[in-house]
Structure 1
Amino acid sequence: MTRLLIAIFAWAVLIFLVAPLVVIFPLSFSSGNILTLPVPGYSLQWYQDFFFDGRWLSAMKNSFVVGIATMIIATVLGTAAAYGINLSEFRGKKLVLAALSLPMVVPLIVTAASMFLAFSLVGLANSLTGLVIAHTIIAAPYVVITVLASLRTFDPNLMRGALSLGAPPLTAFREVVLPIIMPGVASGAIFAFATSFDELVIAIFITGPGEFTLPRQMFAGLREFLSPTITAAAVIMIVLSFILLFISETIRRRGERLTAARINR
């Protein structure tokens, strides 16, 4: 009886969380010009409007450019930071970790306002370059955390052995350390891309009027006129999120299998 109640409660919570996402799908295929349920009919007109409208295509392009650039920079910096922290023992190590995690806990509106003031002084405001730097700041902590989790299963003696055999530090890291912690690095990269691709508040502060990202274009559409094209954009973002989650879970399970295989050896 207890298990049945737990199962019912779990399904009820799941439906409560997923229902708003499910409603978007029929709305995105509506043949009407306003958002109403039930839909008057079904059509692909709003997806056609999304893929043939220059504003939406430009916004999607900017989101991918910024997301990929953020993912690369945040992954490199976050992996290096996690590896250095894991190997080092020093006073204030927990304080450093707390400082690196601040972008995850500080309200985005506070972060965005601070970045806008700082970037305005150095000419990075109203630019995609500034947005990439800003997104890297908030995305790097996710990489640090996932890579640190992977490094817990890494034996430092392997790195020392490679160095003792004459391998340069960078080569030893690339050939010995990186393959072992790759699941954590890949997961961190996915989280960094997702964080950048879905971010709105900082984009409003940092980007200029001609450099909209997809979330900012959706926000502008909500303010100017409630077009059903927004629902098509929302469905595309939801599907992309599910794909990223599937890739992340696949990488995690593969990493667990590889770790178990090494232990069994």
Structure 2
Amino acid sequence: MTRTLGRIALALVCFLIALWLVAPTLVIIPISFSETQSLAFPPTGFSWKWYANIFDNRAWSRSLVTSVEIGLIVAAVATVLGTMAALGLERLKNRLGGTIRLLLLTPVVMPGVVLAVGIYAVYLNLHLTGTWTGYVLAHTLLALPFVVIAVSANLSVFDARLEVAAASLGASRLTVLRTVTVPLIAPGILSGALFAFVTSFDEVIVSLFITSAQLKTLPVQIYASMTRDTDPTVAAIGTLTLVVTTVLIGAGLLFSLSRGRK
């Protein structure tokens, strides 16, 4: 009886902690349907106009499309580079490999403002501010560590004897990589790609330094809106982002579970 009460109490505490963490995010959902012209909770009335404003207002729609396009490019580039780096570091288990790993993970621990100032100073000389190339390079720099971490986590439990077995049967290094290594670490690669896309899509500090009037990402547009008029379009964007992120993470978990059952 005591053990059962303890489990119930533990479950209740975990639920309350989860609710406390999620509650600030859930608040934006009712605000996004408000009829008022400003962010207010509890909201008054019900309206879809702020969701329609995302696609009707050229500034919002253009910044949303820009963020998605940059995010997809960054996810592809960072996933390829990060996977190659993780594979190389797995085979370079010495002091040099540790140093390279530390350098690759530096953007995670470095303050965003410091990194943004450094990137901005370099971009001024190279004329990359406000360009697609500048955004992709900067966001890839920020996303690369997450891909390395995700793929390295899969490689740490990867059975290298499978590669040896395939090679002993006559498979070339490229064939082993394509038919053995990559399929087995696919969950880590997909997780890294998802983290890379989200990192690019959510990045605001570096984007503020390298943005231009012609090319703005969604976080920069949100920041500009919050400093200017704070209408509930921001809440509508946040709700859509929350839904899409939840669906993507849920799909990733289901994919991992389905692979684990096979």
Is TM > 0.5 for Structure 1 vs Structure 2?
A: yes
What are the residue-to-residue correspondences of 1:66-105 with 2, within 5 Å? 66-105=70-109
Distance in 2 between residues matched to 1:160 and 1:85, nearest whole Å: 18
Partner of 1:261: none
Contact 1:186 1:251 in 2 (8 A): no
Matched, 1:172 2:176: yes
Partner of 1:239: 243
Partner of 1:137: 141
The Cα offsets for residues 137-157 of structure 1, whole Å up to 9 and x where unpaired, read as 111111111111111232323
Matched, 1:220 2:224: yes
Q: What SS does the corresponding residue of 1:177 show, helix, strand or coil?
A: helix
CA apart distance, 1:166: 4.3
Partner of 2:31: 27
Q: What SS does the corresponding residue of 1:170 show, helix, strand or coil?
A: helix
Contact 1:187 1:252 in 2 (8 A): no
Contact 1:128 1:207 in 2 (8 A): no
Distance 1:199 1:171, change over 3 A: same
The one of 114, 121, 141 equivalent to 1:117 is 121
What are the residue-to-residue correspondences of 1:188-199 with 2, within 5 Å? 188-199=192-203
Partner of 1:184: 188
Distance 1:89 1:38, change over 3 A: closer
**Where does structure 1 differ by over 4 angstroms across 4 or more consecutive aligned residues?**
none
Matched, 1:209 2:213: yes
Partner of 1:149: 153
Q: What SS does the corresponding residue of 2:185 show, helix, strand or coil?
A: helix
Distance in 1 between residues matched to 2:57 and 2:31, nearest whole Å: 19
Alignment TM-score, normalising by the size of structure 1: 0.91
Distance in 1 between residues matched to 2:255 and 2:114, nearest whole Å: 34
CA apart distance, 1:89: 3.0
Contact 1:139 1:195 in 2 (8 A): yes
Bigger shift: 202-211 or 156-165? 156-165
Distance in 2 between residues matched to 1:130 and 1:15, nearest whole Å: 39
Distance in 1 between residues matched to 2:149 and 2:40, nearest whole Å: 43
Amino acid at match of 2:31: L
Distance 1:257 1:121, change over 3 A: farther
Distance in 2 between residues matched to 1:118 and 1:184, nearest whole Å: 32
CA apart distance, 1:106: 1.0
Partner of 1:263: none
List runs of 5+ in structure 1 lacking aligned partners.
259-265
List runs of 5+ in structure 2 lacking aligned partners.
none
Alignment TM-score, normalising by the size of structure 2: 0.92
Distance in 1 between residues matched to 2:20 and 2:72, nearest whole Å: 32
Partner of 1:248: 252
The Cα offsets for residues 113-141 of structure 1, whole Å up to 9 and x where unpaired, read as 11111222222222121111111111111
Partner of 1:127: 131
Partner of 1:51: 55
Contact 1:147 1:188 in 2 (8 A): yes
Distance in 1 between residues matched to 2:180 and 2:20, nearest whole Å: 45
Distance in 2 between residues matched to 1:99 and 1:123, nearest whole Å: 26
Contact 1:103 1:111 in 2 (8 A): yes
The Cα offsets for residues 201-222 of structure 1, whole Å up to 9 and x where unpaired, read as 1110112122111111111000
Q: CA RMSD in A?
A: 1.7
Q: What SS does the corresponding residue of 2:158 show, helix, strand or coil?
A: coil
CA apart distance, 1:72: 0.3
Distance in 1 between residues matched to 2:256 and 2:141, nearest whole Å: 24
